[in-house]
């Protein structure tokens, strides 16, 4: 079963807004068995919207539109759909009642412009928007589904999860002749090419399975897929492929699906009642941000110091100026002291430090741009590593954070 996503809006096409809606929708649809074939974006232009919608409908079983359902003149999705289906707008009284109550609860007046959101195409079924005012619109025609959703992410997600997912799942069950399932396996500490060599040739994979490598700074995601005549058959094939990869590359796996190395670390820290403090130079707080992303992080993260200048290293972290003068701020010796001292200052079980040259300037022949020292202090001992990342400032900072988390993960699970 094939689906396509059509995102409508000038702001998407000119790059003013990143299209996170499409990524979210695609993941949800894939999880219930559908296969994505098109992600399209068009500006607020009726002619382009009509032609692109016709193309997608010809090739898709389900089409999902987002954007352009608001009450202002530039929201033209409803008029476009009316024209496309040869339809007309009618007042949906339940929606009008909902709008009146919604505005009253906020001490606001429902004006004529906003009343227009109760006008829906007569061939559509409105889907309740529990967090906003524009209802979703569902069309069933020629054995296909089309749903139009607001572009506001919170409203889109509410309608999609609460109203549309059950409809789509039942539609899939009734019409699908095969099912494609996917699983994301997250790895760290190994390069893409080395991982591919470790896993082996596609000829060795189970039948009707697929594998894609999705590299990023500090990690590689593996998206494995399996196709079967029904859900159970596809699931068995996927499980078999997953076990094969775990046998070959298990030591590098740090999570599945929406898991992350940070979620893995957080669970371990909470379970063993361990705490962490960080001292960062070139990453400027990025490591601390990772530790505080998850709810409940105060249970294991005590705090940190952004020691960007040498004076802060000396005055806030107590690093000896003689040590910095002798070895340099980017050195094994300074990294060790930073980790040790921040652990003491914040009374944390683990102290983690990062000091390096992110670039694009500041490198020397002995310490080129991309040179980073990372140290972890725990139980009166230090674990310190030197990295040579590259010339890109942003990537160097991301890779340093990923490397620090991987080092901590190794300490936590190997001790």
Distance CA 19, CA 243 (A): 34
* 34-80 pLDDT per residue, tens: 989 999 999 999 999 999 999 999 999 999 999 999 888 888 999 99
Give the whole-number percent of the chain exceeding pLDDT 70.
100
Lowest mean pLDDT among 10-19, 62-71, 105-114: 105-114
**CA angle 49-50-51, nearest 5°?**
95
| Mean pLDDT confidence for 398-404 | 95
244 pLDDT higher than 70: yes
* Least confident segment among 157-166, 186-195, 332-341: 186-195
Helix (H) or strand (E) holding 102: helix 93-104
> How far apart are alpha carbons 7 and 19 in whole angstroms?
8
- What pLDDT, on a 0 to 100 scale, did the predictor assign at position 229? 87
Longest dimension (CA), the chain: 81
Residue 88, pLDDT > 60, answer: yes
CA-to-CA separations, 358 to 311, 390, 401, in angstroms, rounded: 19, 9, 12
Which pLDDT does position 219 carry in this prediction? 86
Q: Any bridge partners for residue 216, and if so which? A: 219
Tell me the backbone φ, ψ of residue 55, rounded to 5 degrees: -65, -45
Residue 138's CB is within 10 A of a number of other CB atoms, namely 19
> What is the pLDDT confidence band of residue 365, given thresholds at 50, 70 and 90?
very high
- Mean pLDDT for the chain? 94
pLDDT reported for residue 217: 77
pLDDT the model gives residue 415:
53
Query: Which sign, positive or negative, has the C-alpha torsion 223, 4, 7, 114?
Result: negative
pTM assigned to the model: 0.70
Structural domains of the chain, ranges and CATH numbers in brackets: 2-175 (3.40.980.10), 179-256 (3.30.70.2860), 261-414 (3.90.950.20)
């Amino acid at each position: 079963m094939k689906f396509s996503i059509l995102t409508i809006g000038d702001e998407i096409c000119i790059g003013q807004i990143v299209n996170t809606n499409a990524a979210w929708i695609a993941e949800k649809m894939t999880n219930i068995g559908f296969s994505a074939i098109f992600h399209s974006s068009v500006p607020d232009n009726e002619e382009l919207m009509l032609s692109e919608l016709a193309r997608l409908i010809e090739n898709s079983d389900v089409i999902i539109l987002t954007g352009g359902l608001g009450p202002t003149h530039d929201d033209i999705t409803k008029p476009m759909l009316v024209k496309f289906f040869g339809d007309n707008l009618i007042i949906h009284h339940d929606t009008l009642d909902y709008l009146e109550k919604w505005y009253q609860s906020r001490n606001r007046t429902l004006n004529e412009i906003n009343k227009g959101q109760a006008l829906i195409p007569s061939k559509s079924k409105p889907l309740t928007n529990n967090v906003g005012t524009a209802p979703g619109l569902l069309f069933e025609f020629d054995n296909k589904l089309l749903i139009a959703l607001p572009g506001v992410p919170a409203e889109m997600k509410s309608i999609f999860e609460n109203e549309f997912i059950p409809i789509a799942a039942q539609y899939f069950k009734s019409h699908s002749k095969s099912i494609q399932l996917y699983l994301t396996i997250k790895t760290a500490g190994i390069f893409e090419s080395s991982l591919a060599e470790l896993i082996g040739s596609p000829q060795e994979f189970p039948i009707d399975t697929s594998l894609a490598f999705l590299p990023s700074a500090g990690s590689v995601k593996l998206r494995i897929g399996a196709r079967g005549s029904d859900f159970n058959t596809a699931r068995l094939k996927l499980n078999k492929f997953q076990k094969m990869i775990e046998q070959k590359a298990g030591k590098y796996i740090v999570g599945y699906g929406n898991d992350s190395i940070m979620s893995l670390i957080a669970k371990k820290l909470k379970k063993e009642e361990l705490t962490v403090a960080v001292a960062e130079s070139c990453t400027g707080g990025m490591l601390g941000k990772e530790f505080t992303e998850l709810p409940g992080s105060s249970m294991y993260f005590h705090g940190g110091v952004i020691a960007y200048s040498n004076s802060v290293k000396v005055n806030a972290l107590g690093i000896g100026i003689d040590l910095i003068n002798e070895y340099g701020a980017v050195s094994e010796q300074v990294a060790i002291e930073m980790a040790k001292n921040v652990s003491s200052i914040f009374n944390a079980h683990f102290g983690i430090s990062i000091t390096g040259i992110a670039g694009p300037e500041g490198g020397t022949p002995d310490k080129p741009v991309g040179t980073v020292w990372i140290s972890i202090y725990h139980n009166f001992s230090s674990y310190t590593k030197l990295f040579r990342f590259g010339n890109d400032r942003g990537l160097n900072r991301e890779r340093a954070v990923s490397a620090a988390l991987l080092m901590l993960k190794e300490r936590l699970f190997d001790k």
